[in-house]
Amino acid sequence: MPTDTSPTLLITGGAGFIGSHLTTELLQHGYRVRTLDNLIPRVHGPERQRPGHLDPRAELLVGDIRDPQRVQEALEGVDSVIHLAAVVGERSSMYQIEKYMSVNTAGTAVLLEALLDHPVERLIVASSSAVYGEGLYCSYNGTTYPKIRRSTGQVAKGDWEPRSPDGEVIYPLPTPETKEVSPLSVYAISKYDQEEMCRMIGESYGIPTAILRLFSVYGPHQGYANPYSGMLTEYASRLLQGLPVHLFEDGYQQRDFVSVYDVARAFRLALEAPGARGETFNIGSGRPYTFRTVTDRFAAITGRQDLSPTVTGTSRVGDIRHCIADISRARETLGYEPKITLEAGLLDLTAWVEAEITERQKVPAPLEVPKPSRLRV
């Protein structure tokens, strides 16, 4: 339990999906937590009330990351900062350009300026695997391709797999932090902006800084429209309501799905590990899964194997084909090891979605889904 002498952490965006889980993780390990969040109506409702899933022991300041005065107030008496505040989503960033650059890039600039007057012991920044664009690939003969893009014409023909410059089909490898970045969306550019600004200011002003590149995070309290999960919340919701899942392209895209509980622990480890300073870490499960595999497992959990997914055969702007995390550096430096299996994580997510449907949509007879024990580790 936190005490009067416990370190105080500020989490920007702390009332959101990842932030609320991280808040509980830190409180359980003896930290005092203050959160700064603007409680946007799209996520928290028009009343912008404190969310029920935010640990009541945490202090909540309502304010925008772009408000210098509010950020200065939030930093008073703070020992370290975990910066999560951001607008997320690759596809919507392609037509809401000003919004993404304002919140993610300019908002981070406001925070960094405030830190010049409020030095902290550590700054941990949430980035995204989106900065890589496509993951790392190789050919049959072992040639690696660190910077691959699918052409518009190729995708339009339904030729989904990335190819080498010679037209050869290539195959995904675990992507290390050393891979050259290749942002394919405004969102990805804004996240890389955050990385570079925080890294530069951290080095220039002696603020120990670490960057966590998060892969496809999923878990309870994730909004239906939140794109971090690759729509896993929506998949569970549709199947529970007797509706088929929609799969883009052919459904064989590979992602690294990581539980929010593992992600919360990774942030705490980055806060505590002496070797984290100045480093960038991939945070994922280290295992590839296709969207078809995930859909099949949801169907088994909900008992809706009769509902075959609808394969659209269409792509979306900003989408990539494959990206899987190489988590070796996080293992070695942070002592990070994923503990939540995909099966346990999907079961937990489905149970939460079922409860949400029952409460918010008043489904009269929800399907029976086994309720797992809490997955906190």
Q: What is the pLDDT of residues 336-345, one digit of tens each?
A: 999 999 999 9
78, 59 Cβ separation under 8 angstroms? no
Question: Does 61 have pLDDT greater than 90?
Answer: yes
- Amino acid in position 269: L
What letters, b where the CB count within 10 A reaches 16 and e where it falls short, cover 117-150? eeebebbbbbbbbbbbbbbbbeeeeeeebbebeb
Residue entry with tokens 């792509």: 315
Instruction: Tell whether 18 is covered by a domain.
Output: yes
Determine how many CB atoms are found less than 10 A away from the CB of residue 3.
7
pLDDT for position 362: 57
On whether residue 309 sits in a domain, the answer given is no
Classify each residue of 54-87 as buried b or exposed e, where b means 16 or more C-beta atoms within 10 Å of its C-beta.
bbeebebbebbbbeeebbeebbeebebbbbbbbb
Q: 212, exposed or middle or buried, with CB in 10 Å at 0-12, 13-18, 19+? A: buried
d(CA 192, CA 187): 9
Distance CA 303, CA 48 (A): 36
Q: Domain residues for 101?
A: 1-132+181-214
Q: What is the pLDDT of residue 361?
A: 58
Q: Give me the torsion for CA of 51, 123, 375, 296, rounded to 10°.
A: 90
Burial of residue 34, with CB atoms counted within 10 A of its CB: 0-12 exposed, 13-18 middle, 19 or more buried: buried
Alpha carbon distance 95, 79 (integer Å) = 38
Instruction: Note the pLDDT of residue 275.
Output: 97
pLDDT of res. 363: 45
| DSSP class of 50 | P
Does 244 have pLDDT greater than 80? Answer: yes
Question: Does 11 reside within a domain?
Answer: yes
Which one has a higher pLDDT value, 305 or 230? Answer: 305
Is 110 a member of any domain? yes
Q: What's the pLDDT score for residue 11?
A: 98
Contact 115, 81 (CB under 8 A): yes
- Write the DSSP symbol of residue 29: T
Q: What is the structure's pLDDT at 231?
A: 84
- pLDDT at position 341 is 97
Are the CB atoms for 60 and 54 separated by under 8 Å? yes
| Helix (H) or strand (E) segment spanning residue 203 | helix 186-205
pLDDT higher than threshold 60 for residue 104: yes
More confident residue, 138 or 371: 138
Give a yes or no: residue 95 inside a domain: yes
More confident position, 316 or 287: 287
Mean pLDDT within 85-109: 93
208 and 202 Cβ atoms separated by less than 8 Å: yes
User: For the domain that residue 40 is a member of, what is the CATH number?
Assistant: 3.40.50.720
* Mean pLDDT calculated for residue range 137-159: 92
Mean pLDDT over 5-13 rounds to: 94
Q: Among 29-43, 63-77, 241-255, 357-371, which is the least confidently predicted range? A: 357-371
CA distance 36 to 11: 6
User: Is the model's pLDDT at 376 over the cut of 60?
Assistant: no
Nearest-CA neighbor of 37 among 59, 56, 57, 9?
59
Note whether residue 77 is domain-resident. Answer: yes
CA distance 367 to 248: 26
- Quote the number of domains for the chain: 1
Mean pLDDT of 206-213: 98
Residue 59 β-bridge partners: 34
201 is a domain residue: yes
How many residues are present in the chain? 377
Residue 206 lies in a domain: yes
